[in-house]
A and B are shown apart, each in its own frame.
Chain A
């Protein structure tokens, strides 16, 4: 998950090689199986001109972000509660195990039964698929807070509000961010799948229609759009957000000696 770096030439070369291989593969096979990059580009232009792209992207984004935002809200609340209260942790553990075991496709079927076809099904599926990840990570975050820092804050008679704002939340953000990146990636994939199966508006629905019409260039065009959207969100929204939220970590990255996590010590009263 590197942002930039000395490897950008290698990246470019790899991308060019991929395009060349694609072109060669397209020449060797039937256009219905593997259309050439040019044909996909043309399909992309065609779809863009109809205005379908903007509307599909908006719907898919709403499903993925909406569902994931709800998962974040509920997940962090449950995770904090469970991470700080061992009894609550014991209580939610079986539930988390159960949720983690349910495959996303099963959530789609359930959501279809509960919400019918439409956007709610897609958003719910995204929420259900990403919730366990957020809960588990938040629990880990709450449990790994450096107790020596808490003791230091207590020695200054810090209130719970200061403990949360200056110790718990900064630590939690550090622990949670990689999970947010993973969860976001998962959200797009699940949203597309749910849209395809539930017939909800979005990229997934268009993928389904293109498949039915045997319009392979359009299928590829929608895949390119979906992948592009994921990259856009990650590199234009999430990673800049992380740099905003964690400037100290950014400076640590550029610091060759001490990179990585801050050391989390388990404190001892003695």
Chain B
């Protein structure tokens, strides 16, 4: 269980997070959606323990977490195999063991042919797969994802979303998925937290009517329309109200 209570945060004079609380139980996926620059990434970094918030409490009962960033952040001087194994190396797992684990996850994600290649030799989709593999290799109970697919084109993005949903279901992971794209948020999350522009507040807490496997294109479309009919959500995504 990950619990954030009354989190506030500022960079210098600029307040980015108003007062945000959320509860993420095991096996559940929450999408945090809001306009660009509203402090979603900050919230995720606070959940990951990378930033200490100015106010509020973070309580993380999950044993292991892994973060996937907007960019793949693969080490340019390491092969795909070593990049996949990096999280395990950081945790002190011996080389033979971590390489075996990296090969398994690499094969699972369709990277078997690319294990000896360096990041600059991979396509954008493969790099992001490798980053996903590196996160999963440590066998986390909680995945924190910061717009991991936003740099990919639409087809690739859909494939990776499907892959992610399958992996989450297969491993019964809890996940916090940050995005500025409502359609992606609806597709991935069991719950949605809609944030206002900075300083961010939760303007809408939405629980999905259907599980991930049942959310087809029509459902996603209708849900977005329904959400955008709610004045606070519409305001958050209305370009005119953004600076």
Using a CB–CB cutoff of 8 Å, the interface residues on chain A facing chain B are: 148-149, 151-159, 162, 166-167, 170-171, 174, 246, 248-249, 251-252, 255, 258, 262, 269-270
Contacts and interface: CB of A to CB of B under 8 A. Distances in A.
Given A148-B71, A252-B120, A269-B51, A156 B78 contact: no
A160 to B, nearest CB: 11
8 contacts: A148-B71, A151-B73, A155-B66, A166-B78, A167-B75, A248-B76, A252-B118, A269-B45
Interface in B41-82: 41-42, 45, 48, 50-51, 66-67, 69, 71, 73, 75-79
B58 to A, nearest CB: 15
A157 B63 CA distance: 13
Q: 10 tightest A-B contacts by CB?
A: A158-B90, A156-B90, A155-B67, A170-B77, A152-B73, A262-B76, A156-B87, A248-B118, A248-B77, A258-B120
A151 B90 CA distance: 13
Nearest to A246: B77
Nearest to A152: B73
B121 interface: yes
A157 B71 contact: no
B50 A151 contact: yes
A255 B75 contact: no
B16 to A, nearest CB: 7
Given A156-B66, A156-B138, A270-B16, A148 B118 contact: no
Interface in B75-100: 75-79, 86-87, 89-92
A166 B75 CA distance: 8
Contact of B69 (A148, A166, A171, A252): A148
B133 interface: no
Contacts of A255: 120-121
A171 to B, nearest CB: 8
Given A156-B86, A171-B77, A269-B11, 11 more contacts: A149-B73, A152-B67, A155-B50, A156-B66, A156-B91, A157-B91, A166-B75, A251-B121, A269-B41, A270-B39, A270-B41
* Main SS at interface, chain B: loop
B204 to A, nearest CB: 23
Contacts of B87: 156
B65 to A, nearest CB: 8
Interface of B: 11, 16, 37, 39, 41-42, 45, 48, 50-51, 66-67, 69, 71, 73, 75-79, 86-87, 89-92, 118, 120-121, 138
A6 to B, nearest CB: 23
B63 to A, nearest CB: 12
Contact of A149 (B11, B75, B118, B121): B75
B115 to A, nearest CB: 14
A148 B73 contact: yes
Nearest to A257: B120
A167 B75 CA distance: 8
Residue picked from B66, B76, B118, B120, most chain A C-beta under 10 Å: B76
A161 to B, nearest CB: 10
B77 A159 contact: no
Residue picked from B39, B79, B120, most chain A C-beta under 10 Å: B120
Contacts of A157: 90-91
Contacts of B138: 156
A158 B66 CA distance: 12
